[in-house]
Amino acid sequence: MKSAITLSQVPEAAAGPFVFHQPLAEGFAAAKKHGYHSVELFFPGPDFITVAEVKALAAEHNLGIAAVGTGAGMVKHGLSLTDPDPAKREAALEFVLKMIDFGGQLGAPAILGSMQGKWGGDISRDQALSWLADALKAAGAAAAKHGVPFIYEPLNRYETNLINHLAEGAKYIEDNKLENIVLLADLFHMNIEESDVAQAIIDAGKHTGHVHFADSNRNAMGMGHTDTAPIVAALKQVGYTGYLSAEVFPKPDADACAAQEIKAIKEALA
Ligand code: LER
Ligand code: MN
């Protein structure tokens, strides 16, 4: 397993669970200074910066790109893949596909979190899940062209009413025969929803493809009450070799958070 830390360039997500928000070059330098292997990027969209510029920053600091988020499609543009308006669903998918191409050129998978949306009103849960499955099929195929998977993230109940548990996500992938889709185990969401986080990871087996390594209160690991040992043992048991990524609040400040998180990751993997 490898360490990663989040760099956000989305002003609308200034209060979100991302560690470094300063200009990108400073974020890369900070990630390197703290000893991270890679960065996870949260950008306003696919045209925010060129792939070549990101490659140059990664090379300069000898950092990998763990993943790219798509959440700005929701927080900045109000787009979701399950919007009742077909034009908005189409725009949402276009945004996601462009982010897949952007990340893919960096060898990094894209993540679907908040852009999955919600069901309700005139839209049934089955209808929303059917639209989501169609979008995931397109996303999985687009990501495959770059040799990376597409990452689907079950969220806690306050952020979506579609899929809140890792096992539900695994079943959804299998039932819909979704190819090249992996699950994101965000330990903060799982702390809210799962009865046993480690067991949930074991039950989802090979489907976990990315981890947001957040403590129970979404601070850096070690600042809440998560028991990491059984969770890391579960990840090892299912053969997980991906990232433990710091998608956490920059508390008490970004540097202290980054230092605490890398310490926790190193302890977990020791
Ligand atoms: C994104 O990774 C996430 O965890 C969500 O809570 C963002 O809305
Ligand atoms: Mn997350």
Q: What pLDDT sits at residue 141?
A: 99
182 DSSP β-pair partners: 151
Q: What pLDDT sits at residue 229?
A: 97
Q: Give the residue-averaged pLDDT of 1-23.
A: 98
Q: Which residues are catalytic?
A: 153, 247
Q: What ligand has the least distance to the C-alpha of 214?
A: 2
* pLDDT tens track for 57-116: 999 999 999 999 999 999 999 999 999 999 999 999 999 999 999 999 999 999 999 999
Return the best residue to mutate from 114, 115, 158 for the ligand 1 pocket (most ligand atoms within 8 A of CB): 114
Which residue ranges have their beta carbon within 6 Å of ligand 1? 71, 111, 113-114, 153, 155, 159, 186, 212, 247
Q: Closest Cα to atom 6, ligand 1: which residue?
A: 155
Q: Closest Cα to atom 3, ligand 1: which residue?
A: 113
Q: Closest Cα to atom 8, ligand 1: which residue?
A: 114
Q: What pLDDT sits at residue 22?
A: 97
Q: What pLDDT sits at residue 180?
A: 98
Quick one: pLDDT band at residue 31, thresholds 50, 70, 90?
very high
Confirm if 40 and 245 have CB atoms less than 8 A apart.
yes
Going from N- to C-terminal start, the domains of the chain cover: 2-269
**Ligand 1 atom nearest residue 74's Cα:** 8
Q: Six-digit token pair at 6?
A: 């989040």
Return the best residue to mutate from 40, 68, 75, 186 for the ligand 1 pocket (most ligand atoms within 8 A of CB): 186
Distance, CA of 214 to CA of 222 (rounded, Å)? 9
Measured in angstroms, how far is the CA atom of residue 243 from the centroid of ligand 2? 12
CATH topology of domain 2-269: TIM Barrel (3.20.20)
* pLDDT tens track for 195-243: 999 999 999 999 999 999 999 999 999 999 999 999 999 999 999 999 9
